[in-house]
Amino acid sequence: MLSQRKEIRLIALIIIFVFLFALLTGCFKKGGTQSSSLQIINSEISSIVNSATGDISSIESGIQSSNNNTASFNSKVISSLSPVVANKITINKDLKGDFVLNNINPQSQNIVVDLQKRSGMPLFKKISLFTIGGTPMDKLGRDIKWLDALRAPTMRYPLCIWGSDYFENNVKKWIDTAYDLPGSLFMKAGNTMYWHLGQVEAAYNYQRAGADTANVKFYPPVFGTWDKTWEVAAKYIKEEKIRSYYEVLNECDHNAWYKGTWNEYIDIYNHTANALRKGNPDAEVGGLSSGGISRTLGTAKLNDFLNSVQNNMTPIDFVSYHDYFQVYNNDTNILRDELDKRPYYKTVQMHLNEFNVYWPSDVYSETKSDTFMKTYKPVSLAFDAFQWLSEHPEITIISWATFIDNFEGLGVIDFDGNPLATYNALKIYQNMPIDRVRLISNIPSVKGMASTDSHKSGIVLWNTSKNEQLVNLGLNNLPFSVANVSVYRIDSNNASYGDNKLKSNLNIIEKIENCNLKNIQWSGKIPALGVVYIEIDDQSSLSELNQRNKIGTLIRKDYYFDNRKKNTYSEWDDLTSIVYIGMGTNDIGRALSSITMENVKDTISVNTKLTGSLSSKSANSTLGIRVDYRNKSKMYNKSVLYQYKPVAGSGNSEFPWGTKTIPSKIVNLTDLSKFNINIKSEAPNDWDGRVIISFQMQDCGNGSEAKFILK
């Protein structure tokens, strides 16, 4: 009898380990939900264990303590037996969601993503930040660490020059002492400085202010001193190698900040833009800075500004405007239409450089009771805005207001240095890959975006309703042979410091490791106004957004807008040296932008990915990269076009910069997948080291896109 019992125990143990081995090698794979197939697995194991009397208590306790929880089951049993397990759920902190890996029913899916089907406008990383004047320097030093994760291209920050007597060294000294800290810190975080110009104390116009001496700084300045100050400032900032945008004043259509007339503001702009360009001929300058085109400015004043700038041929690179009241669609359309009426403004950008989705009712109050922006609730509005902005390539810079809360109730970082839910929303969007893929939602109140690159995919869903929504998300054609799949949430209990101080970080809630399936499903609940973000990575810890391919020193960026109502796009990413050029939804149209550079590599290698059915739709069809060379007389005298021969027409003779003529030389390429731009060998003998590199697609058909990776 004893020997028979030993044999039974041995047989039972063998059966258990054979079953576990089969589970590990994929003979049994999780399917359905935790309440169905997993219960079957647990009950089968328990029946085997209970029939034996051997010493298997450690295995049994591990199984029983799982309480049908997939993550606990895997972590306590499977991971202890094998270091690599396919489709292993290692984290499941939230019972509101569950992965379905087998026996998927596509008919049950109410949101579907195809991760290998390119669709929609790219998710360009144009969202920058605005830091309000008066933010304490120690707070900036403390919180600069949060900037890296946001990939903000620019930081809008006030530039004022104090000192009652004008002298040149005072301008330089003030910039050194007052702006060295924010300037150097922001630049270290990868931001280009975006100065909105403020007061010059030495240029206060007491005569214009008259008896209103308390507000003298809000009146038009004494131009002799004012002009000299900004000329010196622009020259000095250039000498310090701080690439900068310059915006002339702030919200002068708002009488809280400005006491002069609108015509006096226009005069200030004309003076200031010329002074800045005198100090730095490469300065990127702009103005208007409207506090609300439809609310406080109006089209009459807008036209007065645009007409004066054009009539005086004043330098202008961008027109800026602000919105906190969710009227950005209306204001954008007004400005876009007025610019498009004037060919003079074809190279002028639109900057939405103060932007938020909410304006606290007591923003100026000493005692704050409106804490909406500190909670997770504005995040769904933010993603609505991010999606809308992605559809508008005519807006080239967006500055979220604000970076640090300076008691106005708007910052993504609170005054004590804690990241809020809006910070985590920006972090998600700014780190999603650029290449957008197809996402179809059949839930009217749940919206989404999805994107992918060669190492990572991201899917974000947000609930716009006040009711919890059940989502069955189909993730199809996973682009990696083996991947990790992670789920994050923003809601009242996750990634929102204002709602739950103990759970303020954007942490993984659910995770699958070593997923080797092409199609999976995630089923779960999204709370009212909540967000779910799913990230899929190839386990390399890489992303195209993390590449740093420096090909030269960037001097300035320029854009050409033939018709802003068309969603053609040409966008260079400052950090990665990746360029996207596309036709959007147009058969006919022109997408064109450029970068001006010095210290350029002798040879630039280009890897290209083409999307869509590129074809020649007119005599002007073209796709390529053009290089214009400047000589030692500061004149552009040669250009070389590297063009894709299969869609090349006769070309468009109108070119807005460089030699401004047809190219001096054309290099026809039949294969764009990999080619070289020979900067040095093609340069003229009198080249001074500066080039303009332009990226253009024209009349190549609906959905056509080229992605250039420059190295």
Region of 37 please: left (phi>0), alpha (psi -120 to 50) or beta.
Answer: alpha
Q: Which pLDDT band holds residue 367 (cuts at 50, 70, 90)?
A: low
Given a cut of 60, is residue 23 above it in pLDDT?
no
Q: 639 has which bridge partners? A: 628
Q: What is the residue-wise DSSP string for 241-276?
A: T--EEEE-SS-TTSTTT--S-HHHHHHHHHHHHHHH
Residue 11 has which token pair?
A: 């047989």
- Which residues are within 8 A (CB) of 305 and not within 5 positions of it... i.e. 6 or more apart? 262, 265, 266, 269, 287, 288
Q: Highest mean pLDDT: which of 190-204, 424-438, 650-664? A: 424-438
> What is the average pLDDT value for the chain, to the nearest integer?
87
pLDDT of the residue at 256: 79
Once rounded to an integer, what is the mean pLDDT over residues 241-269? 94
Q: What single DSSP character describes residue 75?
A: I
CATH of domain 127-355: 3.20.20.80
Residue 386: alpha-carbon gap to chain centroid: 9
Q: Which pLDDT band holds residue 626 (cuts at 50, 70, 90)?
A: very high
Give the pTM.
0.87
pLDDT of the residue at 451: 98
Once rounded to an integer, what is the mean pLDDT over residues 445-468? 97
Using alpha carbons, select from 292, 171, 304 the residue that is nearest to residue 231.
Answer: 171
Give percent above pLDDT 70 in the chain. Answer: 86
Question: Lowest-confidence range among 28-42, 179-193, 335-349, 666-680?
Answer: 28-42
pLDDT of the residue at 88: 79
Question: Lowest-confidence range among 13-22, 169-178, 379-388?
Answer: 13-22
Q: Highest mean pLDDT: which of 20-24, 105-109, 180-184, 675-679? A: 675-679
Given a cut of 90, is residue 45 above it in pLDDT?
no
Hey, what CATH class is 547-710 in?
mainly beta
Give residue 490's identity as a one-letter amino acid code: I
Q: What is the residue extent of each domain of the chain?
A: 2-85, 106-121+435-537, 127-355, 547-710
pLDDT of the residue at 14: 53
Q: Is 285 helix (H, G, I), strand (E, B) or coil?
A: strand
Q: What single DSSP character describes residue 445?
A: T
Once rounded to an integer, what is the mean pLDDT over residues 532-559? 94
pLDDT of the residue at 11: 54
Distance CA 392, CA 388 (A): 7
Give residue 476's identity as a one-letter amino acid code: N
CATH entry, 106-121+435-537, from 3.40.630.10, 2.60.40.1180, 2.102.10.10, 3.40.50.300: 2.60.40.1180
pLDDT of the residue at 651: 66
Given a cut of 70, is residue 56 above it in pLDDT?
no
Give percent above pLDDT 90 in the chain. Answer: 73
Given a cut of 70, is residue 496 above it in pLDDT?
yes
For 220, 285, 349, 571, the CA distances from 262, given in Å and listed in that order, are 10, 19, 22, 34
Once rounded to an integer, what is the mean pLDDT over residues 52-57? 31
pLDDT of the residue at 406: 81
Distance CA 215, CA 55 (A): 86
Summarize pLDDT for 98-111 with one digit per residue, the tens.
Answer: 898 888 999 999 99
Give residue 33's identity as a one-letter amino acid code: T
Task: Kindly report the length of the chain.
Answer: 711
Higher pLDDT, 630 or 97: 630
pLDDT of the residue at 178: 76
pLDDT of the residue at 5: 45
Distance CA 597, CA 689 (A): 8
Q: Which pLDDT band holds residue 206 (cuts at 50, 70, 90)?
A: very high
Summarize pLDDT for 112-162 with one digit per residue, the tens.
Answer: 999 999 999 999 999 999 998 888 888 888 999 999 999 999 999 999 999
Q: Are 305 and 269 in contact (CB under 8 A)?
A: yes
Q: Are 625 and 642 in contact (CB under 8 A)?
A: yes
Summarize pLDDT for 589-621 with one digit per residue, the tens.
Answer: 999 999 999 999 999 999 999 999 999 999 999
pLDDT of the residue at 342: 97
